Structures are given as C-alpha cells and as structure tokens.
Amino acid sequence: MGFFRDLSKQAKRISDDREFLGFIKVIESLVSKVLSLAMIAVILVSVVDLIVYLWQDLFFQQPVGFFTTTVIKIFGFFLNILIALELLDNITAYLKNHAVQVELVIITSLVAVARKIIILDLEKVDGLELIGLAIAILALSISYLIVRFTNKSSHHDHH
C-alpha cells in the first residue's frame, strides 16, 4: 500500500505545472551536458584523426614531404573540426542561457555551407546545385544580418 501512496504523491507532484517544468529543465540540462561531452569526444577524435592522416600523408606516401591528397580535401577536414567546435559553442550557449542562440546557429550553418563550397569539385557539380548553394548562402547571410540588427537594436533599447 505504501508503494501506491508514494507513487500517487509523485504523480501529484509531477502534475503540478511548476514541478513538471522544473523536471523538464533538469532533463534539458542533462541532455545538453551529454551532447557537450559527446561533441568534445568527436572533436578530440577528429583532431587526432587529422594529425594521423597528415603525418601518414606527408611522411609515408610517395613522394615524401608532399601532400598526396589535395589541399582542398585537407581543408575539408579542418572545416569539419571548426563546424564541430561551432556546434559545441551552440550547446554550451544553450546550457548558459537555456535558449537556442539563433545567431550562432546561422553562423554554424554559414560555416557548413562555406565548407561545402570550399571542397566543391566543379567538374562533378551541375548548375542547379551551384544555384542552390548560392541561394542558401544568400538566405543565411540575410538571416544573419536581420538577427544581428535585431540583437543590436534590442541591446541599445535596454541600456
């Protein structure tokens, strides 16, 4: 009987809106922390992977001392790590403010699209894909300007 009484007390506590919202905040915080740790692991493994890749490519491939892969491909690896760092920044900003930082998300998206353009093989891409990337950059850039302008004007209103 005591078990059911305790269970009903717990259910009553959770049914209280403030208690429930507090419970959701705890879950959000926990998930954000787990995502942060996972992203740190991804970044560290990516950096080690990049170092091993560069080391092998420079010293164990013919000709020694020159990149056998294109520098563009190597830039792609670097940009992947930068994108992962931006995502980690997004997660930690969320942990600090408990709100998604739209400006950071747009910047991360711009870096991701820029990475796509930097590593683009123009022989394998059709015009439609280029137009799509151009539209994505334009839309993200305009969004970034709007968010920046809005944030700047709201900061001036409060001071």
Residue 1 lies in a domain: no
Q: Supply the mean pLDDT for the chain.
A: 83
Residue 113 lies in a domain: yes
Share of the chain above pLDDT 90, in %: 21
Mean pLDDT of the region 141-152: 89
Q: Say what the pTM is.
A: 0.66
Tokens coding 77? 């690896």
pLDDT at residue 137, rounded to an integer? 92
The range of the structural domain enclosing residue 95 comes to 7-158
pLDDT at residue 42, rounded to an integer? 95
Dihedral angle of Cα 105, 106, 107, 110, to the nearest 10 degrees: 120
Q: How many domains does the chain have?
A: 1
What pLDDT digit, counting tens, does each position of 48-102 carry? 999 998 888 877 776 666 666 677 778 888 888 998 998 898 888 888 887 778 8
Residue 141 lies in a domain: yes
What pLDDT digit, counting tens, does each position of 133-144 carry? 899 999 999 999
pLDDT at residue 38, rounded to an integer? 94
Residue 23 lies in a domain: yes
Residue 57 lies in a domain: yes
For 147, phi and psi rounded to 5 degrees?
Answer: -65, -45
Mean pLDDT of the region 16-45: 89
Say which range, 26-40, 63-77, 141-155, has the weakest mean pLDDT: 63-77
pLDDT at residue 159, rounded to an integer? 54
Residue 2 lies in a domain: no
The neighbour count for residue 117, using CB atoms within 10 Å, is 13
pLDDT at residue 13, rounded to an integer? 63
Residue 82 lies in a domain: yes
Token pair 């969004």 is at which residue? 143
Q: Check: CB of residue 73 under 8 Å from CB of residue 66.
A: no
Residue 37 lies in a domain: yes
DSSP the chain: -HHHHHHHHHHHHHHSHHHHHHHHHHHHHHHHHHHHHHHHHHHHHHHHHHHHHHHHHHHSSSSTTS-SS-HHHHHHHHHHHHHHHHHHHHHHHHHHHSS--HHHHHHHHHHHHHHHHHT--GGG--HHHHHHHHHHHHHHHHHHHHHHHHHHHHHHHH-
The region that residue 16 occupies, defined by phi over 0 for left and psi between -120 and 50 for alpha, beta otherwise, is beta
Q: Check: CB of residue 74 under 8 Å from CB of residue 54.
A: yes
